[in-house]
Amino acid sequence: MTVITVLYNGDNIVGFVAKGHSGYAEHGEDIVCAAVSALTQTAYLGLEKLVKAEMEFHIKDGELRLMLSKGLDAEKREKAELILGTMLLGLRSVEENYSDHLKLIKREVKA
């Protein structure tokens, strides 16, 4: 199962940690893993290329971590929230349809 912990500061998404493999199908044929990868990595690309947000990003087999920098200005923070919120909508849709393979967790973090 893939577990994605979405990190919040108040009402704002400030990052996420995705761990594990969904186990829906064999490697290369797993549509749940492909959906999660597409949504999370597209969010990263949007934050990096469009928003130019400062963040920590790490990816390795079975794990992806993203955390926005604390010093983002208000405009970048607002744009980042739109991108991360859109990612979360997509992930929730995948979770609704494949709840045996994807679990979303909400966690509050300090600013």
The pair of structure tokens assigned to 98 is 């494949």
CA distance 98 to 85: 20
- Strand, coil or helix: what is 59? strand
Give residue 111's pLDDT: 63
Q: What is the pLDDT of residue 67?
A: 97
Pick the CATH number of 2-101 from 3.50.50.60, 3.30.70.1490, 3.30.1330.30, 2.30.40.10: 3.30.70.1490
Total-model pTM = 0.92
| Buried residues in 9-37 as b, exposed as e (16+ CB within 10 A) | eeebbbbbbbebebebeeeeebebbebbe
Domains of the chain, by residue range, sit at 2-101
In degrees rounded to 5, what are phi and psi of residue 28? 90, -15
Res 46: pLDDT: 98
pLDDT at 12: 94
Residue 67, H or E segment: strand 63-68
| Segments in the chain below pLDDT 50 | none
Residue 84 CB partners (closer than 8 Å, separation 6+) = 13, 16, 43, 47
